[in-house]
Amino acid sequence: MGNTNSSAVEKCLDAAVGAKNFASSATVAYQLSHVKPYNLDIPVKPAAVTYPSTSDQVAAVVKCAVDNNLKVQPRSGGHSYANYGIGGSDNAIVVDLKNFQQFSMDTNTWQATIGSGTLLGDVTKRLQENGKRAMAHGTCPQVGSGGHLTIGGLGPSSRMWGTALDHVLEVEVVLANSTVTRASETQNPDIFWALKGAGASFGIITEFVVRTQASPAESTLYTYTINAGNAAAKATAFKQWQALISDPTLSRKFATQFILTELGLIITGTYFGPRAEFDSLNISSRLPPKSESILVLDDWLGVVGHWAEDTALELVGGVQSNFYAKSAAYTKDDLLSNATIDKLFTYLDEVDKGTPVWFLIFDLEGGAVNDPAPDATAYGHRDALFYHQAYAVNLFGRVDDKIRNFLTGLNKIVEDGVGRELGAYAGYVDRALGDKGPELYWGANLEKLRRVKKEVDSGDVFSNPQSVKPAE
């Protein structure tokens, strides 16, 4: 483990979870089979990776860390953009939650209990198999619910149902003092508030109780491949898309993404209703010339499976790679002017990106995501109408300055255009933001988060390079 107390830590972890349920850096193939970084560009070497099976074992691991002056980070899918799920900095103890797969459905309340190690693909399947239920979440099936349901959890159905964390009614959580406790709006409400937006800074959730929705009987999936060869044509397409999504009367059943890659431009999404209803919105007539593909599915698992096949996810999905990503949250007051849009698409056409593997996604939010008050939960972007996520991969090694500068330059054009620094989505961790990260992730909620942190984790046990730090 590279420190003097390694044998004490190993002895403690052995007592906590058993020798077969943890691996330390002394083990052969440790980095490969246990650490498994998602972003190969940010190597992290944890002191140990543990695989507890009960909440009491999680508590015992946390106590081992505290007693040996080590940090702790939970991992429920190993899918963090900056590997914060594997400690974020060297010599932390990772609590891998893959054994927390419990599931039950209360058919009176339609509330589901979900283990925090369950991947989103399995959440969808289990909800559907137990009463044809559903909840809002992202499109990547390999993401773990523990991180997703505590950071935001945005997806196509969020405009109807809210973020994934808006579904969470109660949790079982292990705190820094290694107690196992419940938190909800009536039990430990401040902890519950903080966990709904900044979970990894406050504890390790072992179980969620969530509200569910009846899954739509029929959904209409559309993909428009836009015939836009040059910067001007792409800019025109974006202007039309932005006009569409900023229409305050737009149905909450309508989800849409504007996706630009080296291969071209598509506008794609889902309408959660039958084809006739979708056609009545006249979406097609509000967008530029295109070839259309419309698919109507009455099978919810098929709908969610189709999302996982989209262009961007096929490029990245659960595959380890060297990449860099940046995001920006736009409110209804941050719509891009025609001049800024022209400048942005000229830049995207002309800049040397340093890689052919990149994409830019603009993603409509709004609707039910905006309904709760800005401080109702710790989630920092209640006023976001849409986000962009830009992502670039180096297939041949570490991300270089050229790739980094490409994405930084893109955000700069946008921010110069709107006249302010835009917030960032905490789920798309951006290490380049440094100490500024928490402010951009949690905005006005950061101050209260720091106060709660001081109360429940003054020693900063649950820590990564951009986690919430205790108030002074």
Per-residue model confidence (pLDDT) at position 195 = 98
- Whether 149 shows a pLDDT value over 90: the answer reads yes
Q: Are residues 137 and 238 in the same domain?
A: no
Q: Are residues 375 and 450 in the same domain?
A: no
For 198-234, what is each residue's pLDDT tens digit? 999 999 999 999 999 999 999 999 999 998 989 999 9
> Does some domain include residue 267?
yes
Q: Are residues 284 and 135 in the same domain?
A: no
Per-residue model confidence (pLDDT) at position 29 = 77
Per-residue model confidence (pLDDT) at position 316 = 58
User: pLDDT band for position 189 (50/70/90)?
Assistant: very high
With a pLDDT cut of 70, the percent of the chain lying above it is 97
- Whether 310 shows a pLDDT value over 80: the answer reads no
> Does some domain include residue 449?
yes
The better pLDDT of the pair 12, 310 is held by 12
What is the arithmetic mean of pLDDT over 231-249? 97
For the domain that residue 118 is a member of, what is the CATH number?
3.30.465.10
For 258-283, what is each residue's pLDDT tens digit? 999 998 999 999 999 999 999 999 99
Provide the residue range defining the domain that includes 380: 219-431
User: pLDDT band for position 2 (50/70/90)?
Assistant: very low
Per-residue model confidence (pLDDT) at position 129 = 98
Per-residue model confidence (pLDDT) at position 148 = 96
> Does some domain include residue 471?
no
For the domain that residue 344 is a member of, what is the CATH number?
3.40.462.20
Q: Are residues 184 and 206 in the same domain?
A: yes
The better pLDDT of the pair 26, 438 is held by 438
What is the arithmetic mean of pLDDT over 332-359? 97
What is the arithmetic mean of pLDDT over 294-301? 94
- Whether 287 shows a pLDDT value over 60: the answer reads yes
Choose one of 96, 115, 132: the last residue of a domain.
Answer: 96
Average pLDDT value over all residues in the chain = 94
Q: Are residues 335 and 367 in the same domain?
A: yes
Q: Are residues 244 and 393 in the same domain?
A: yes
- What's the total number of domains in the chain? 3
Q: Are residues 153 and 297 in the same domain?
A: no
Q: Are residues 153 and 223 in the same domain?
A: no
> Does some domain include residue 88?
yes
User: pLDDT band for position 1 (50/70/90)?
Assistant: very low
The full 3-state SS of the chain, as one line of letters, equals CCCCCHHHHHHHHHHHHCHHHEEECCCCCHHHHHHCCCECCCCCCCCEEECCCCHHHHHHHHHHHHHCCCCEEEECCCCCCCCHHHCCCCCCEEEECCCCCCEEEECCCCEEEEECCCEHHHHHHHHHHCCCEECCCCCCCCCEHHHHHHHCCCCCCHHHHCCHHHHEEEEEEECCCCCEEEEECCCCHHHHHHHHHHHHHCCEEEEEEEECEECCCCEEEEEEEECCCCHHHHHHHHHHHHHHHCCCCCCCCEEEEEEEECCEEEEEEEECCCHHHHHHCCCHHHCCCEEEEEEEECCHHHHHHHHCCCHHHHHCCCCCEEEEEEEEEECHHHCCCHHHHHHHHHHHHHCCCCCCCEEEEEEECCHHHHCCCCCCCCCCCCCCCEEEEEEEEECCCCCCHHHHHHHHHHHHHHHHHHCCCCECCCCCCCHHHHHHHHHHHHHHHHHHHHHHHHHHCCCCCECCCCCCCCCC
Per-residue model confidence (pLDDT) at position 314 = 56
For the domain that residue 68 is a member of, what is the CATH number?
3.30.43.10
The pTM of the whole model exceeds 0.85: yes
> Does some domain include residue 472?
no
Q: Are residues 169 and 235 in the same domain?
A: no
- Whether 435 shows a pLDDT value over 90: the answer reads yes
> Does some domain include residue 461?
no
What is the arithmetic mean of pLDDT over 339-359? 96
- Whether 93 shows a pLDDT value over 60: the answer reads yes
For 7-37, what is each residue's pLDDT tens digit? 999 999 999 999 999 999 877 678 778 998 8
Q: Are residues 188 and 307 in the same domain?
A: no
Per-residue model confidence (pLDDT) at position 312 = 55
Per-residue model confidence (pLDDT) at position 3 = 46
> Does some domain include residue 462?
no
